[in-house]
């Protein structure tokens, strides 16, 4: 094992502990020079992508420590994209006579999910995924609907 200077494709350099045979370490160094950007540039690109997505979706600013917010932004985008895919799928298999009811539920669920501001909520629920979000929020929506009907 040896600390090696890595020359990333973005032009920056960094130190990295590499393990394995010399040929494997040399192969990684070549790969990094051709294909990888340094961790700082990768974070910058992720932050830019997050900001663009948040602006396009009109998402609220997250509340929490700087590290929580940074981590939760990435989680939130991943979860919301998966959520949108699951919603589109469920909508596509729904019977036409139920589409209006489903669209009403989806709208309410979307407002609830996309309106979550606590970074800790996104971090705590990161492993749940889009299906869990839909099921959990739909159950809450149906319970609220049932309470309104009484």
DSSP character at residue 38: P
Q: How many residues does the chain have?
A: 150
> Does residue 55 share a domain with residue 114?
yes
pLDDT of amino acid 123? 92
User: How high is the mean pLDDT of the chain?
Assistant: 86
Residues 89 and 136 in one domain: yes
Quickly state the pLDDT bin for 64 (edges 50, 70, 90): very high
- Taking 70 as the threshold, does the pLDDT of residue 15 lie above it? yes
Q: Are residues 70 and 125 in the same domain?
A: yes
> Do residues 52 and 32 both lie within one domain?
no
The pTM (predicted TM-score) of the whole model is: 0.71
CA separation, residue 77 to residues 72, 84, 90, 100 (Å): 8, 10, 20, 27
Of the candidates 47, 106, 96, 105, the residue with the CA atom closest to the CA atom of residue 74: 47
pLDDT in tens, 85-130: 888 888 899 898 988 888 888 888 888 888 999 999 999 988 877 6
Residue tagged 């020359």 (tokens)? 7
Q: Give per-residue pLDDT as tens, 20-54.
A: 898 998 898 899 888 889 999 998 898 888 889 88
Q: Does residue 83 sit in the same domain as residue 48?
A: yes
Pick from 123, 118, 1: nearest CA to 62: 118
| CA atoms within 13 Å, Cβ hemisphere of 65 | 3
| Number of independent structural domains in the chain | 2
Q: Are residues 81 and 145 in the same domain?
A: yes
- Pair 76, 127 in one domain: yes
Provide the domain limits for residue 32. 2-37
Looking at the structure, tell me whether residues 59 and 125 fall in a common domain. Answer: yes
Query: Which residue, 32, 2, 38, 36, is CA-closest to 19?
Result: 2
pLDDT at residue 62, as a whole number: 94
Cα dist from 129 to 26, 77, 91, 116, 123, whole Å = 38, 11, 18, 15, 11
**Domain check: are 21 and 72 in the same one?**
no
The verdict on 23 and 51 lying in the same domain is: no
Measured CA angle at 66 (ends 63, 71), to 5 deg: 85
| Nearest to 33, CA basis, from 72, 74, 4, 58 | 4
Same domain, 51 and 31: no
33 and 46 in a single domain? The answer is no
């Amino acid at each position: 094992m040896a600390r090696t200077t890595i020359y990333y494709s973005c032009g920056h350099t960094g130190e990295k502990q590499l393990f394995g045979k010399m040929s494997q370490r040399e192969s990684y160094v070549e790969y990094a020079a051709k294909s990888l950007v340094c961790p700082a540039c990768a974070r910058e690109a992720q932050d830019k992508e997050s900001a663009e997505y948040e602006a396009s979706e009109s998402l609220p600013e997250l509340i929490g420590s700087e590290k929580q917010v940074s981590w939760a932004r990435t989680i939130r985008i991943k979860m919301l994209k998966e959520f949108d895919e699951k919603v589109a799928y469920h909508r596509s298999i729904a019977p036409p006579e139920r589409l209006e009811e489903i669209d009403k539920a989806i709208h309410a669920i979307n407002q609830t999910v996309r309106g979550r501001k606590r970074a800790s909520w996104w971090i705590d629920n990161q492993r749940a995924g889009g299906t869990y979000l839909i099921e959990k929020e739909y159950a809450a929506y149906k319970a609220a609907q049932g309470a309104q009907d009484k």
